[in-house]
Chain A
Amino acid sequence: MATKQVRYEALVKALHGDLYRYGYWLTHDKQVAEDLVQETFLRAWRALDSLKDEKAAKSWLITILRRENARRFERKRFDMSEYEEASIMDTQSTSTEQEIENDWLRDKIAKLPPEYSEPLVLQVLGGYSGEDIASMLNLNKNTVMTRLFRARNQLKDALEKEPENMRLIHE
């Protein structure tokens, strides 16, 4: 019992941030992301004995979170792809230059089609390889690589269309 508690606490502490961010990029909503993380960890607690390899913990949790997210769509069948941009992030009136850059990029990432942004987040934020992402998303590796290519291609295009942001990549 005690060891289960210890394992669980370690998991929460180490991975709740990654999971929250993943949930955020999946849903573009802070509150929904938080709810998803809550649900995910609650399920993880119940199923903790089935997690044999601690190294696989993150992808295991991400899989649970994706399933929870899918369940959310089953529950309320409304289209979540139309979101208000204001809800993406708080508008920061007093922002540093770095934060302005980040906001601008976040907006662009959020505008990617979800099938492109999801593998991109897994790769950039999660550090997963193409193979890992393919198995997590139930896709073949070529599809994943194509989507990653398109995701970056679109982001780069967007950057190039707005010359004032070119410094982001050329500075």
Chain B
Amino acid sequence: MNDKTMSDSIMPENKMDDLQFRRSIYADPTSLDKDIIAAQKADPAKKQLAQELSRLDEKLKQAMKVPVPDDLCNRLLLRQTLASHQQEKRKTRIHLALAASVAIVAGVVVNYLQFSSSYTNLGDYALAHVYHEQNYFSNDDNTRVSLTSLNKKMTAFNGNFSESMGELIFADYCRFDGMKSLHLVFQGLTDTVTVFVVPKKEHLAFTDKFSDKKLQGESLSFKHANILVVADKNESLSQWQSTINDNITWSI
């Protein structure tokens, strides 16, 4: 505190003395304190000091307003945009990774559902398979498959039929519960007769006879394959079985 400016005049107690006024007005020239305002009104010298300091403040304000670099604003915005773009990219990568994981899991699940057996035995699967494809074949189909081409397909199972076993409408490989099998469709008495040549695998239990309300089926077990015959109830399955049994030869 600077004592030299201390006023000599003694002010009444409730009025602001010079020192107090000086301290206040120097600390805040724009003060709206009512005592300060009142003191200025009462004393022209105080008012002049206040105005002087206000002018000084105005000058100070001008001086403090150093020029701001023109492009600072843009640089700030750009830097933030770049920074959050990096963040976005990181997020995108995470999202991509998540999406990939989900896709992989989905793929595995679909694969599992598609190729895992929901059937526990040969008969159930054979019936389901026949029902699934029953609309593709009709007993009146005129297409015929020759014994030669049938035997060509049978080589995959190391088997061979010596004679034709009937009117063969269709013969091709198919997936029999995930196993590559041969699917034969013969003309039957009233409806098609389906014969499956299925490699021996343990995940489907062997069932020698099976049926439901409409279809019946029988399985023959050979060394390397099972042969299933599925037909409607008018068909004699045992006759089919013995024909197959008589005709087939296995090369190993």
Contact = CB atoms under 8 A, between A and B. Distances in A.
Interface stretch (B20-28, B178-186, B192-200, B235-243): B20-28
B60 A105 contact: yes
A124 B61 contact: yes
B76 A98 contact: no
A152 interface: yes
A158 to B, nearest CB: 11
A4 to B, nearest CB: 9
A109 B26 contact: no
A5 B56 CA distance: 40
A106 to B, nearest CB: 5
A13 B28 contact: no
Contact of B83 (A45, A89, A169): A45
Contacts of B60: 105, 109, 120, 124, 155
A55 interface: no
Interface string A1-27: 000010011001100110011001100
Interface residues of B, number: 32
A139 interface: no
A13 B72 CA distance: 10
A133 to B, nearest CB: 10
B52 A169 contact: yes
Contact of A16 (B24, B55, B73): B73
Interface string A100-134: 01110110010000000000110111000010000
B2 interface: yes
A21 B73 contact: no
B64 A124 contact: yes
Contacts of A109: 60, 63-64
A169 B56 contact: yes
A87 interface: no
Given A98-B62, A169-B55, A169-B56, A38 B79 contact: yes
B77 A20 contact: no
A69 B90 CA distance: 30
Interface in A127-171: 130, 145-146, 148-149, 152-153, 155-156, 159, 168-170
A8, A101, A152 — most chain B CB neighbours (10 Å): A152
B62 A42 contact: no
Given A9-B77, A105-B59, A34 B27 contact: no
Given A16-B68, A168-B56, A145 B27 contact: yes
7 contacts: A12-B76, A34-B69, A38-B76, A41-B79, A124-B57, A149-B26, A156-B56
Interface of A: 5, 8-9, 12-13, 16-17, 20-21, 24-25, 30, 34, 37-38, 41-42, 45, 89, 98, 101-103, 105-106, 109, 120-121, 123-125, 130, 145-146, 148-149, 152-153, 155-156, 159, 168-170
Interface of B: 2, 22-24, 26-29, 52-53, 55-57, 59-66, 68-69, 72-73, 75-77, 79-80, 83-84
Shortest 4 CB-CB distances between A and B: which pairs? A105-B63, A145-B27, A148-B27, A149-B26
Given A16-B73, A98-B62, 15 more contacts: A12-B73, A12-B76, A17-B72, A20-B66, A20-B69, A41-B79, A89-B66, A101-B63, A106-B63, A106-B64, A124-B57, A149-B27, A152-B56, A156-B56, A168-B56
